[in-house]
């Protein structure tokens, strides 16, 4: 269907403005903000905080998908009932990630995950046989 | 994720990996965020996004998702990350303005009978393709969008009604004239042109950055 005329005109103006923005020097960008009484650091801090929250949510979703994939493709075994220290759990899990890129991608920001997330993932990996329940990390 | 290359009829282009996108996001400077916010402000008009910040956030998240294999725009490494996010912002805004999903859902809902398979309400009519209904919806949506876009253009004209130089720039853009051509026709020096161009861009950002729910 033919695009309405007003939409084409508006899009043309927007495209031209975007092209100006791409090549606008940082100094002129800062000048804009000074005239508007705004501060780049404050704006950026707010946007970074919002983005970190959004990306944390996305990483949790990736982790969930990885876990479900593990559960649905393997025979479950009971995880070890003795709870290992958190640092040992991280070492073992990271060794698994060295061997399996797909798992690493889903959990690549492991340093930002909660203790419960690490323990839960360790249990899943033991359950599907990726980790032996004897603390060997094999 | 292994490096991926797309070949779509053009020279091989590498697509960004999740690590590439994560690194690019971490590397965004304060000025980059400001620049992205301005881009979103310019594109916000007529979309369902409530603020430029919301649109920027969605664009960056979509880039992240696509790099991890989800559907969406993937960053081709031959363009800068900022240029890619600009394109994504523009695309998301355009999709939002074009979206007839809500209207189609309402109309399809009218056709649903409790005893009919809800996956395809048009089957209830014994039609293999809902062309008539879709066409009516498409025409109505297109007319509504055109009216909104025309209203935006009218607001722009009103905002700059006392600024002859900016009006010349707007006309020049519509007529695909170069900066040099616009300067010559309008009798502007290069400095006057640059100053007027800046007034025009900032006017667009201010006028369009309010956002509107459709």
What is the complex's ipTM, to 2 decimals?
0.77
Is some CB atom of chain B closer than 8 A to the CB atom of A11?
Answer: yes
**In terms of C-beta density within 10 A (0-12 exposed, 13-18 middle, 19 or more buried), how is residue B179 classed?**
middle
Question: Measured between beta carbons, which residues in chain A are less than 8 angstroms from residue B42?
Answer: 14, 17-18, 21
User: pLDDT at position B46, please?
Assistant: 86
A82 — pLDDT class (breaks 50, 70, 90): low
Higher pLDDT, B111 or A84: A84
Q: Which of B60, B94, B201 comes nearest A17 by C-beta?
A: B201
| Contact criterion met (CB < 8 Å) for A10 and B149 | yes
Q: How far is CA A15 from CA A9, A121, B21, in A?
A: 10, 46, 24
- Residue A86 in this model has a pLDDT that exceeds 80: yes
Q: How far is CA A34 from CA A38, B33, B125, B209, in A?
A: 6, 16, 61, 18
Q: Which of A16, A18, A55 comes nearest B90 by C-beta?
A: A18
Which has the minimum average pLDDT: A37-46, B33-42, B68-77, B117-126? B117-126
B167-193: per-residue pLDDT in tens?
Answer: 999 999 999 999 999 999 999 999 999
| Buried b / exposed e along A89-101 (16+ C-beta atoms within 10 A) | bbebbeebbeeee
Sequence-distant (6+) residues with CB within 8 A of A121 are A63, A67, A93, A107
User: pLDDT at position A105, please?
Assistant: 65
User: pLDDT at position B125, please?
Assistant: 45
Question: Measured between beta carbons, which residues in chain A are less than 8 angstroms from residue B138?
Answer: 1
Rounded to two decimals, the pTM is 0.70
Q: Which of A13, A48, A51 comes nearest B170 by C-beta?
A: A13
Q: Residue A28's closest chain B neighbor by CA?
A: B198
CA B119/CA B132 separation, integer angstroms: 19
pLDDT, chain A, mean? 81
Calculate how close chain A gets to B185, using CA atoms only, in Å.
Answer: 19
CA A110/CA B120 separation, integer angstroms: 42
Q: How far is CA A78 from CA A17, A67, A131, B169, in A?
A: 60, 16, 12, 71
Q: Do residues B66 and B19 touch, judged by C-beta distance below 8 A?
A: no
CA B214/CA B50 separation, integer angstroms: 10
- Sign for the CA dihedral angle at B196, B198, B201, B204 comes to negative
């Amino acid at each position: 269907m033919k695009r309405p005329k007003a939409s084409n005109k508006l899009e043309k103006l927007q495209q031209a403005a975007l092209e100006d923005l791409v090549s606008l020097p940082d100094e002129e960008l800062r000048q804009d903000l000074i005239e508007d009484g705004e501060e780049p650091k404050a704006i950026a801090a707010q946007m970074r905080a919002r983005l970190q929250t959004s990306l944390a949510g996305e990483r949790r979703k990736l982790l969930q998908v990885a876990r479900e994939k593990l559960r649905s493709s393997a025979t479950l075994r009971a995880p070890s009932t003795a709870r290992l220290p958190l640092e040992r759990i991280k070492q073992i899990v990271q060794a698994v990630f060295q061997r399996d890129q797909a798992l690493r991608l889903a959990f690549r920001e492991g340093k930002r995950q909660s203790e419960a997330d690490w323990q839960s993932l360790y249990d899943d990996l033991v359950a599907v046989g990726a980790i032996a329940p004897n603390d060997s990390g094999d | 994720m292994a490096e991926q290359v797309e070949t779509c009829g053009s020279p091989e282009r590498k697509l960004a990996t999740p690590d590439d996108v994560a690194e690019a996001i971490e590397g965004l400077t304060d000025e980059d965020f400001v620049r992205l916010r301005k881009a979103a402000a310019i594109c916000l008009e007529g979309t369902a996004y409530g603020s430029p910040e919301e649109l920027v956030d969605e664009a960056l998240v979509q880039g992240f998702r696509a790099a991890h294999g989800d559907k969406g725009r993937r960053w081709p490494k031959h363009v800068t990350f900022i240029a890619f996010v600009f394109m994504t912002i523009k695309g998301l805004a355009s999709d939002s303005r074009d979206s007839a999903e809500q209207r189609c859902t309402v109309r399809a809902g009218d056709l649903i009978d409790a005893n009919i398979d809800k996956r395809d309400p048009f089957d209830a009519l014994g039609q293999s393709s809902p062309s008539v209904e879709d066409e009516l919806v498409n025409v109505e949506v297109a007319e509504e969008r055109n009216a909104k876009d025309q209203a935006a253009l009218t607001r722009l004209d009103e905002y700059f009604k006392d600024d002859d130089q900016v009006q010349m720039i707007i006309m020049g853009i519509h007529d695909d004239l170069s900066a040099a051509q616009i300067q010559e026709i309008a009798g502007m020096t290069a400095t006057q042109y640059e100053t007027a161009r800046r007034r025009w861009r900032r006017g667009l950002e201010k006028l369009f950055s309010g956002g509107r729910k459709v």
